[in-house]
Chains A and B, each alone.
Chain A
Amino acid sequence: MVTGRAPSAGRLGPEELRQLAWRVAAQVVDPEIPVLTIADLGVLRGIDVQDGRVEVTITPTYSGCPAMNVIALEIEVALLRAGIAEASIRTVLSPAWTTDWLTEDGRRKLREYGIAPPRPGGGRRLLFGQETIACPRCGSEDTHRLSEFGSTACKALWRCAACREPFDYFKCH
């Protein structure tokens, strides 16, 4: 038995349990970009309830993203805190995650955090095409790429020529 279990979760009907699990899981944040929840990112794909057991479905951003293990653990811990002990995490690969799933709210939060959000509908970019990325600090589009690969798998490093600040850009994927 799990002690300290919230008394309510056990008595909930399947739909209420599903909604509670969603609310709880949706608050888990990305360990690398803590202003974004996994719901903002589109990493949280769904919650199923079967015989009182909760199954959380998530999808990885990049194949090798080290944050995924932490995210799965954080979901389990969050659910446990909410009194949901009977939970499992399932990872699905298809459909493949895309930055288009990032919510509008998520894009705003990224910008405020100093990370230029990916353009929606970026899709498969031209290999040598030009990208115009607005500086998340001053808004100038006079920016250029310093490095294709940044501090995490999902980011590139850019610099603004107007305010001279370097910034992270969340790559289209």
Chain B
Amino acid sequence: MRGQDGARPTKEASLTTTSITVAETPIVLYALRRADDALILGHRLSQWCGHAPMLEEDMALTNIGLDLIGQARLLYTYVAELEGRGRDEDSYAYLRDAPQYRNLLLVEQPNGDFAKTIVRQFFYSAFADLYWRAMTASHNATLAAIAAKAEKESAYHLRHASEWVIRLGDGTEESHARAQAALDELWPFTGELFEADATERELIKGGVAVDPAGLRSVWSETIGGVIREATLQTPASSWMQTGGRRGRHSEHLGHLLSELQYLQRTYPGARW
């Protein structure tokens, strides 16, 4: 279907009207999972543009979002190369439905108040920082190169989020309560960070991926130190949510994608 403004159809237009399916070989699935994490969290942060509590934070959140979307682009481009079907980064972002997305449930959680956005970023960045640093030793040269860029960026993301957790927790009664509520609400989504299914265990064995379970103790120490300094409480271990890596998402992802994919779904193949 063409838009009334005559969005120029491209060679691929007839293909882009429907969702694509991706042949998920282990390495493709691996890269898609990380790309989806980065894209969805990056998109969430972009929703703060013009709405952050102050100008500096508006710039910070969108800058972090930009880094993440950049990481997603590199990973999707690699997926396209692996697939060799003439797709590009945009195909994966715009033409897959929610059940085909492989991101962590944590990153698709709504922005909520500022404290919730910061805590979500804090949990994720504390993990991503460790994860990408370890991935710089991957036997896969492309993933190692992407990791080398991502780890430098995530260090800044973690510092930013950590400083805010401390400021909010050790701030007013109101900010303390909101930060604690955010920690408690998002805690059940942190277990998924450390999961590795059979596919991923094969890649770990081959030195392509790193075992996230091995990062858990350092992650716990990192976040525990900040949470203590913030005069907040680390939530007690509890039942953990799971499913994102297999495409079983919370209801929030579909709404996010309807916004993210709107243009390409309405005017297939539109370019500008």
Contact with A along B132-160 (1 / 0, CB 8 A): 00000000011011101110110110111
Cβ of A153 and Cβ of B74 under 8 Å apart?
no
A124 contacts across to B, CB distance below 8 A: 152, 155
Interface hits, B205-245 → A, CB 8 Å: none
Residue among B66, B149, B153 facing the most chain A CB atoms (10 A cut-off): B149
Which A residues from 65 to 89 make CB contacts under 8 A with B?
65-66
| Pair A93/B148 contact, Cβ less than 8 Å | yes
Q: Which of B70, B159, B163 contacts A64 (CB 8 A)?
A: B70
Distance in angstroms between the alpha carbons of A164 and B164 in the assembled complex: 25
Total count of chain B residues near the partner, CB < 8 A = 32
Q: Does B60 lie within 8 Å of A147, measured CB to CB?
A: yes
Known: A93-B145, A93-B146, A94-B141. Contact between A150 and B67, CB under 8 A? no
Q: How far is the CA of A65 from the CA of B70 in the complex (A)?
A: 7
How many angstroms between the C-alpha atoms of A148 and B153 in the bound complex? 12
Main secondary structure of the interface of A (DSSP, over half): loop
Alpha-carbon distance A62/B65, docked complex (angstroms): 12
Question: What is the bound-complex CA distance between A60 and B146, given in angstroms?
Answer: 11
User: Which residue of B59, B63, B74 has the most chain A CB atoms within 10 A of its CB atom?
Assistant: B63
Contact between B148 and A127 (Cβ–Cβ < 8 Å)?
no
The size of the chain A interface, using a CB distance under 8 A, is 27
29 contacts between A and B (CB under 8 A): A60-B149, A62-B66, A62-B149, A63-B70, A63-B153, A64-B66, A64-B67, A64-B68, A64-B70, A66-B66, A93-B74, A93-B145, A93-B148, A93-B149, A94-B144, A96-B152, A97-B149, A124-B152, A127-B159, A128-B159, A147-B59, A149-B60, A149-B63, A149-B64, A149-B160, A151-B59, A153-B63, A157-B56, A171-B156
Seen from chain A, the residues whose Cβ lies within 8 Å of a Cβ on chain B are 60, 62-66, 92-98, 124-125, 127-128, 146-151, 153, 157, 171, 173
